[in-house]
Amino acid sequence: MTGLIVDRRGVAALEFAIVGGTFFLLLLLVIQFGLYYLQVTALDLAVQKASRQILINQAVTQTQFVTNIQADSFGLLQSQTIHVAVQSAASFGAITPVANIAAGASLPYDTGTYGSAVLIQVGYTGNALANLLSQFVPGVSSTIAFQREPSPQ
Amino acid sequence: MEFGLIAPVLLLLCFAIVDFAAAVRVQIGVDQAARAVANLIVQQSAVTTAQLDDFYIAGRDCYAFNSGTFSISAASVTFPPAPSGWDAADYSGHFAPSPGNLLTLSAGLAASSGGSVVGGDSTIVVQARSTFAIPLAFWPIPSSLTFTSTEFARPRLSFVVTAPN
């Protein structure tokens, strides 16, 4: 037992195991943050582009809307983890935003009519950093509010 | 010994990355809020107090974070013929809470216009601001950060969006 305590062989390997673990965790975090930032930016751009179809009064189904977002995301988002809630009313005060868009169950999809106030919330649940550190890092999501174009009369 | 020196630095870097991710997301939310409110105002030829309050709700929805403070200001800046400069109509008082009026910002806008805008044209200026509590904050990471975003937009239906009152 005394021999084990005074034996200094393998100290470097032990220290590397401790420091290396933390270092690789840091490296992984840097990579994940890069991916997080890319996905947040890609989702924002894709939602803005897809939303313009609703803004200019085109008929878009929920499935088409998700497909359009995925298609404009530079391959960074998977369609099965994109959740969309679209609500419309005469005013924004009459709309209650979906509290947990990432839950993804029974989300509303109502694009309204000419001149409607429209609130679009899109959540993405495929990011590991946001899922693992959900207490500290906001989820990958995008929210857009706009008024549909008035009736062409 | 070496681990004792390196570990705090590595942990600080880890926390800083998590905090930076949160900060980036909040800044994007503030940008979206300002842009949404500016776009909503320029779609009108005149705005009422009730409409401005409703647009504030839309901006708040776009910000999408429950924590931290959030406020919006807006102004309509009209450019009369030189040399009288810009005439600013401040909508800020109709938003609650408001970070303040935008007349100072509007004065800066006049100085940089170069006279290229036709007299009577106006620009809508919207500023959104949020003070966000940093999730993993300890020295030297600040406990909170203030994010500001300013958006400019031109009215689409008329030269000037008429202010309430």
Write down the pLDDT at residue B92: 65
By the 8 A CB rule, do B24 and B65 touch? no
Q: Give the phi and the psi of residue B115 in degrees, each rounded to 5.
A: 70, 15
Write down the pLDDT at residue B33: 93
In-domain check, residue B128: yes
**B133 at the A interface (CB within 8 A)?**
no
Instruction: Render pLDDT for B3-61 as a digit per residue (tens, 0 to 9).
Output: 778 878 888 888 888 888 888 889 999 999 999 999 999 999 888 888 988 998 999 99
Write down the pLDDT at residue B4: 78
Instruction: Render pLDDT for A91-129 as a digit per residue (tens, 0 to 9).
Output: 999 999 998 887 767 899 999 998 899 999 999 998 888
Residues of B in contact with A17 (CB under 8 A): none
Q: What share of chain A in percent tops pLDDT 90?
A: 50
Question: What pTM, to 2 d.p., does this model score?
Answer: 0.84
Residues of B in contact with A46 (CB under 8 A): none
In-domain check, residue B98: yes
Three-state SS for B118? coil
Among left, alpha and beta (phi > 0; psi -120 to 50; other), residue B107 is: alpha
Residues of B in contact with A40 (CB under 8 A): 24-25, 28
Write down the pLDDT at residue B113: 45
Q: Please name every residue paired with B46 in a beta bridge, in sequence order, or none if there are none.
A: B162
Higher pLDDT, A8 or B87: A8
B165 class by beta-carbon count within 10 Å (0-12 exposed, 13-18 middle, 19+ buried): exposed
Three-state SS for A152? coil
- B11/chain A closest Cα distance in angstroms: 8
Instruction: Render pLDDT for A32-58 as a digit per residue (tens, 0 to 9).
Output: 888 998 999 999 999 999 999 999 888
Write down the pLDDT at residue B103: 53
**B65 at the A interface (CB within 8 A)?**
yes
Residue A59 above 90 pLDDT? no
Write down the pLDDT at residue A133: 84
In-domain check, residue B46: yes
Identity of the residue in A15, A143, A146 whose CB atom sits nearest the CB atom of B3: A15
Q: Which of A73-77, A100-104, B130-134 has the highest mean pLDDT?
A: A73-77
Helix pair A62-71, A11-55: axis angle to 10 deg: 130
Write down the pLDDT at residue B65: 78
Secondary-structure percent of chain B, ordered helix, strand, coil, rounded to 5: 40, 25, 35
Reported ipTM: 0.81
Contact criterion met (CB < 8 Å) for A133 and B17 = no
Q: Interior CA angle at B23 toward A33 and A68, to 5°?
A: 65
Full residue range of the structural domain in which residue B15 is found: 2-153
The number of domains in chain B is 1
Assess whether the previous peptide bond of B140 is cis (omega < 30° from 0).
Answer: yes
Residue B85 above 80 pLDDT? no
Q: Please give the distance of CA B75 from its chain centroid, rounded to a whole number.
A: 12
In-domain check, residue B49: yes
Residues of A in contact with B43 (CB under 8 A): 147
**B55 at the A interface (CB within 8 A)?**
yes
Average pLDDT value for residue range B65-88: 70
- A46/chain B closest Cα distance in angstroms: 14
CA of B67: which chain A residue's CA is closest?
A138
Instruction: Render pLDDT for A10-36 as a digit per residue (tens, 0 to 9).
Output: 888 887 887 788 788 888 888 988 899
Give buried/exposed letters for A11-38 (b at 16+ CB in 10 A, else e).
Answer: eeeeeeeebeebeeebeebeebbebbbb
- Cα separation, A40 vs A23, in Å, equals 26
Helices in B43-155 by DSSP H: which ranges?
49-63, 103-111
**B7 at the A interface (CB within 8 A)?**
yes
Which residue ranges make up each domain of chain A?
11-147
- Cα separation, B161 vs A40, in Å, equals 33
Residues of A in contact with B63 (CB under 8 A): 143
* Contacts within 8 Å (CB) and 24+ apart, B107-112: B109/B77, B109/B152, B110/B77, B110/B79, B110/B85, B110/B86
Residue A131 above 50 pLDDT? yes
Residue B95 above 70 pLDDT? no
Tell me the pLDDT band of A142, cut-offs 50, 70 and 90.
Answer: very high
- A30/chain B closest Cα distance in angstroms: 7
